[in-house]
Structure 1
Amino acid sequence: MKPTLPVRFALPVLLALAFLGGCAGAPPPATKTTTFILVRHAEKVADGSKDPELTPAGLTRADALAARLADVPLAAVYSTAYRRTQQTAAPTARGHALAVTAYDAKEPAAELSSRLQREHAGDTVLVVGHSNTIPGIAAALCNCVVAEMSETEYDRLTTVRIGADGKATLEEGRQ
């Protein structure tokens, strides 16, 4: 005669075995690449003020950036609080139904980089800044050397991708 489990214990034991068996063969959770798209604000009015608006060409460039990123699944848009950066970020944010999150232009690049990576792991994020901040932010994100940006350069598009393994790649192109 074969030993048998009492019926009242059979179902819980079978359910536990099925659960454990399913866990043993389950693949690890999918990990995603984190992507940061960084741009300097578009062309600004040369009015001598500390907070100028964009020129008509700058507004056109901001719209072109939004069109270029229309199919990119952005999770967030960051910009300094200056009018020129807010106006550059606004069309893209609007196109993705996102608010523009302001960050302090004087925040150290390493601190901003750490915060962005912590808050947006696996996301794609647009960051709009200035000629004297974007290269430093990109360098902090990728832990690599990034060329300085001249005061007349408005069309550089920098992309930093950080893989699940923590390795970063830097791509630079033009808008």
Structure 2
Amino acid sequence: MRILLLLLASLTALPALAKDQPIYVTRHYDTPAGERDPDLLPAGKARAERLGKLLAGKRIATIYVTDYRRTRQTAAPLATRRGIPVETYDPRDTSGIVARAKAATRPVLIVGHSNTVPDIVEQLGGTRPAELAHEDFGDLWTLRGGKTGRVKVAP
């Protein structure tokens, strides 16, 4: 009976543990200005490779990208290296991607855009970043337990 009670207590703790999983958010990396669906520039490709190495040891379960080349290319090195599934989301549906990320039981990466990342970070409970200009590439936010971390991914 005692073992059964311990087992039940540990199972009820699982959802609480899942809520403490980090969520990583980044904007797609370096692109030329003024193009609708550009490929990453060489600096963006180098930064994406660096992101793949930086997050290689994390237990990321899913990578969420929009249906644009630049977001898919930003996520590709990590997804390929680790065999992580890539799922698309609608960049106009911030609440939808936030709900999917919050429901995850393992860490996830969201790759967004200059006009979506501040809202995503804020709706995930983080400190809202300043609006992003075209030149603002390379920031990676980590949201965990109500805290926000931010590092710069160098090319």
Residues 28 and 113 in structure 2, CA contact (< 8 A), matched pair in contact too: yes
For 1:83, the equivalent position in structure 2 comes to: 69
Structure 1 partner of 2:148: 170
Choose which of 83, 87, 91 in structure 2 pairs with 1:97: 83
Cα distance in 1 for residues equivalent to 2:50 and 2:31: 16
**Is 1:23–2:4 an aligned residue pair?**
yes
2:29 paired residue number: 42
1:111 maps to 2:96: yes
Residues 29 and 45, structure 2, Cα contact 8 Å, conserved in 1: yes
Gaps of 5+ in 2: none
Name the CA distance, whole Å, in 2 between partners of 1:59 and 1:35.
24
Residue identity in the other structure for 1:94 = T
What amino acid maps onto 2:21 in structure 1? T
- Taking the aligned partners of 1:159 and 1:71, their CA distance within structure 2 comes to 15
Q: Looking at CA atoms only, which structure, 1 or 2, has the larger radius of gyration?
A: 1
CA pair 169-49 structure 1, distance change in 2 beyond 3 A: same
One-letter code of the match for 2:26? V
Could you say what the CA RMSD is over the residues aligned between the two structures, in angstroms? 1.7
- Write out aligned runs for 1:81-160 (5 A): 81-107=67-93, 109-118=94-103, 120-121=104-105, 123-142=106-125, 144-160=127-143
- Which contiguous aligned blocks of 4+ residues in structure 1 show a shift greater than 3 angstroms? 24-27, 143-146
Q: Which amino acid letter does the alignment assign opposite residue 35 of structure 1?
A: P
**Cα deviation code 1:19-49 (max 9, x no counterpart):** x232234443343222111111110134x43
Instruction: Tell me: higher relative CO, structure 1 or 2? Use CA pairs within 8 A at least 6 residues apart.
Output: 2
TM-score, with structure 2 as normaliser: 0.86
Q: Which runs of 5+ in 1 are unaligned?
A: 1-19, 163-167
TM-score (norm 1): 0.77
The one-letter code matched in structure 2 to 1:156 is D
Instruction: Note closer, same or farther for the CA distance 1:71–1:51 as it changes in structure 2 (3 Å cut).
Output: same
Identical columns (%): 33
Aligned equivalents of 2:42, 2:112: Cα separation in 1 = 19
1:44-59 maps to which residues of 2 (within 5 A)?
Answer: 44-46=31-33, 48-59=34-45
How many residue pairs end up in the alignment? Answer: 147
Q: Is the 8 A contact 2:61 2:85 kept in 1?
A: no
